Amino acid sequence: MEIRQPIHSEHAKRLDTEGLRKEFLIENLFCEGEMNLTYSHIDRIIVGGVVPTTQPLALMAGKALGVDFFLERRELGAINIGGAGKVIIDGEVFEIGPREAIYIGMGAKSVEFTSDSVETPARFYINCAPAHHTYPTRKITQQQASPEKLGNAENCNVRTIYKFLHPSVLPTCQLSMGMTVLEPGSLWNTMPCHTHERRMEVYLYFDMKDDNVVFHYMGEPTETRHLVVRNEQAVISPSWSIHSGVGSASYTFIWGMVGENQVFHDMDHVAMKDLK
């Protein structure tokens, strides 16, 4: 598990392209037959990609967590962006198809991920956060994920937001996750942009061809920077940073949030005239 320290906004202003990518971009999440995890000290979120092939892949506790089992003091959400697979939790099997999610409450001792097909393996994207209470484990389909359509063609941002882990769908301690699907011809997400001091966020971009990119905008509203993001890469967004992007073609992204406020619309909007 890679460990990343938090970065102050004043420090981020002084980073060059390589420095920004090193601190905020997660590039190699999904590798067949592997589980890759990044632990960020920003709100203690763990971000990971799990691609089981011939053997199950299990969550294992280590020195970084200092506990007997991975979810002893944590909750976890996983969204499958690959082929059909299964999550086995303390012996109970949950079938998780493409674009389906699972919430796993604190206290689950054994968590294994498997794929139904080696040729088209599942690709589980996970977010994991500290927890203080055990809520029931539950599978969530895309139809159950409280869809909300936003945007318009004039602003190139017609999109549907699916709120998989959200108070309107199920209870969690602090973790929220959802998936935003842009329609063909729409390229912008989260513009006009915002910040939220009470929680951080991670964006995973996917459904992109090899020659397509997303320009992800970050930084304080009056001191913006950008990251060039490719397929199945994620961006860590601190609470002081905007998080907005535009692609060379349409794409899909998963947002995950941890912090002390789960109200989806709790945000500090930034006027377009104030961006620099």
> Which residues are annotated as part of the binding site for Zn(2+)?
194, 196, 201, 243
Neighbours of 14 (CB within 10 A): 7
Torsion of CA 132, 133, 139, 141, to 10 degrees: -70
Choose among 199, 136, 125: nearest CA to 169: 136
Choose among 126, 134, 17: nearest CA to 82: 126
Q: Where are any strands of DSSP class E within 22-107? A: 25-26, 35-40, 46-50, 57-58, 74-80, 85-89, 92-96, 101-104
- Give the up-direction half-sphere exposure of residue 20: CA atoms within 13 A in the CB hemisphere: 21
Angle at 35 between CA 205 and CA 22, to 5 degrees: 55
The 8-class DSSP code of residue 155 comes to G
Q: Which residue ranges make up the annotated binding site? A: 194, 196, 201, 243
